Amino acid sequence: MEHTEQRKVVSLLVDNQTGVLARVSSLFTRRGFNIESLTVSATNDPTISRITVTVYGDENRLNQLLLQTERLEVTRQVFVLDDRKALQRELLLLKVAATVVNRAELREIASIYKAKIIDLSPDSMVFELTGKPDKVDAFLRMFEGYTILEQCRTGVTAMERGGMHQRMQKPPQEIRAVQFPLPGQSCPK
């Protein structure tokens, strides 16, 4: 049986308290997952934070990891975002060596990708680009022939399209009871 690695963007709603990020990320690394990107942000509820993690793995290992993540007492909800139903964005800051000779070429690349030039000095340009991960990757490929001085990429932040989704409307205790019945209780069918 062949196992193929899949890219998954996992969204976690967790208690907003000290040490939560360390607990979640250490669980991922203890299970042998390399975190490709990780973002943490506040939500509209000051007691809850959103962690967005991008990982690669085979489906069975990913499912096991998600179950273990859901069992952490600081975790309120865990769900994998469907690429077709989610909005994903990254922010890239890119500093490229620039001269009088190549400055026009660099401006044109920025224009095509709708990147902003946020700093210009005699020997460099800094670009800001926000977009889907594929767009950021394509933008970076355009600079393979240039000297990249520095690069900073935030990682994916994402949410589902449309109104409030059903799982977001349920209290965490109700979701946990369905996902993980208490000992002695039978699983729902």
* CA-based torsion, 74, 78, 83, 84: positive or negative: negative
| Token duo for residue 175 | 């979701």
- One domain for residues 60 and 105: no
32 and 122, same domain (yes or no): no
Pairing status of strand 75-81 against strand 116-121: unpaired
Task: Examine the pLDDT at 34 and tell me if it is beyond 80.
Answer: yes
- Is 185 part of a structural domain of the chain? no
Using CA atoms, how far apart are residues 107 and 85, in angstroms rounded to an integer? 33
pTM for the whole structure: 0.76
62 shares a domain with 150: no
* Range of the structural domain that residue 165 is part of: 6-85+161-179
Between 92 and 163, the more confident residue is 92
Question: Is a pLDDT exceeding 60 seen at residue 182?
Answer: no
DSSP secondary structure of the chain: -----EEEEEEEEEE-STTHHHHHHHHHHHTTPPEEEEEEEE-SSTTEEEEEEEEEE-HHHHHHHHHHHHTSTTEEEEEEEPTTTEEEEEEEEEEEE--TTTHHHHHHHHHHHT-EEEEEETTEEEEEEEE-HHHHHHHHHTTTTS-EEEEEE---EEEESSS--HHHHS-HHHHHHHHSPPTTSPPP-
Asked if 65 and 119 sit in the same domain, the reply is no
d(CA 182, CA 132): 40
Rounded percentage of the chain residues whose pLDDT exceeds 70 = 85
pLDDT tens digits, one per residue of 72-109:
999 999 989 988 889 999 999 999 999 999 999 999 99
Task: Please indicate, yes or no, whether residues 64 and 123 belong to a single structural domain of this protein.
Answer: no
Could you tell me if residue 102 is inside a domain?
yes
Residue 23 phi/psi, 5° resolution? -65, -45
What is residue 59's predicted lDDT score, i.e. its pLDDT? 85
CATH number for the domain harbouring residue 137: 3.30.70.1150
Q: 183 pLDDT band (50/70/90 cuts)?
A: very low
Looking up residue 30, the CATH number of its domain turns out to be: 3.30.70.260
Domain count along the chain: 2
CA distance readout (Å), 53 to 28, 37, 39, 121, 175: 10, 6, 7, 35, 21
Do 76 and 167 have their domain in common? Answer: yes
| pLDDT attached to residue 134 | 94
pLDDT, one tens digit per residue, over 8-21 is: 999 999 999 999 99
Bridge-partner residues for 14, per DSSP? 49, 75
pLDDT at 186: 52
Maximum alpha-carbon separation in the chain: 74
Mean of all residue pLDDT scores within the chain? 87
pLDDT at residue 157 is higher than 70: yes
Q: 109-131, pLDDT tens digit by residue?
A: 999 999 999 999 999 999 999 99
Token pair listed for 161: 């399209």
Evaluate whether residue 48 is within a structural domain: yes
